[in-house]
Amino acid sequence: MSPAAKTKSPEAARWDLRLYVAGQTEKSVRAFDNLKKICEQHLAGQYHIEVVDLLRDPKLARGDQIIALPTLVRKLPEPVRKIIGDLSNTERVLVGLDLRPRT
C-alpha cells in the first residue's frame, strides 16, 4: 500500500452514486442489479447507492440535468460523471467511473 493510500480518510474513499430511474421497469431493475454487482466487485464497502425514481418526483431530474433514463451519476469522488443506460457493459461503466483507464 502506498503512503498516500494510508493517509486517505475513510470519507475520501467513499463513492456516492445516484441512479435515476422511471419506476420498476425491466431496464431500471437491470441497471440497479448491474451497478450493485460492479460496486461489490470493485468498491466493496466504499460506496453508497441512492435510487431516485423520477415517476415519484420528476423535479429531481433538474439538479443533475437528467435527459435519459436510467442514468447513473457519480457525485463523489469529484468530478461528477454520468453514464446513461442499463450499465450492462461493465467495461464502459468502469471507464466511465474512472475505475479503469481508457484503452
Superfamily grouping for domain 11-96:
Glutaredoxin (3.40.30.10)
Is the confidence at residue 59, as pLDDT, over 80?
A: yes
Kindly report, residue by residue over 63-93, the tens digit of the pLDDT.
899 999 999 999 999 999 999 999 999 999 9
Question: How is the chain split into domains, by residue range?
Answer: 11-96
Burial group, residue 39, by CB count within 10 angstroms (0-12, 13-18, 19+): buried
User: Binning pLDDT at 50, 70 and 90, where does residue 11 land?
Assistant: very low
pTM: 0.84
Are 43 and 55 within 8 A, CB to CB? no
First to last CA, the chain: 25
